[in-house]
Amino acid sequence: MRPSRHIKHETIRFDVLPLRGRNRREDLAPCGPQKMTELSDNAKLALDSLETKPALNTPALIAQNEGIERADAEQGLAELLEAGLVKQSVMGWKLKPQA
């Protein structure tokens, strides 16, 4: 797997998500598991693809866009879904809007 040159997120914490674009700790709301973890490379690549090219919203298109296998894209999307960062619909995967 080749690394993406587009990754914007080095670490995403599952226990907090920013509200209204603020980044102070007291302005963050709890979300997901309380344990601090990092996203896998596959999840980072899937997140990057959905951010940069939202129309490419199926595992096959995400895999092609990021140069990874489809199974890796599916694993990354499953991780993002578990983290509450994306939602799946009949039209494909989309980023959840942040409050």
pTM above 0.75, yes or no: no
Residue 29 resides in a domain = yes
Question: Which structural domain, as residue segments, surrounds residue 85?
Answer: 16-95
Residue-wise pLDDT tens digits, 36-46: 368 999 999 99
Task: Check which CATH number belongs to the domain holding 62 and give it.
Answer: 1.10.10.10
How many alpha carbons fall within 13 Å on the CB side of residue 85? 23
Residue 3 resides in a domain = no
Residue 84 resides in a domain = yes
Residue 9 resides in a domain = no
Report the C-alpha gap between 48 and 52 in whole angstroms. 6
Residue-wise pLDDT tens digits, 55-69: 999 999 999 999 999
> 93 vs 1, 24, 34, 90, CA distance in Å?
22, 29, 25, 8
Residue 5 resides in a domain = no
Residue 97 DSSP SS3: coil
Residue 91 resides in a domain = yes
Residue 40 resides in a domain = yes
How many alpha carbons fall within 13 Å on the CB side of residue 45? 26
> What is the number of structural domains in the chain?
1
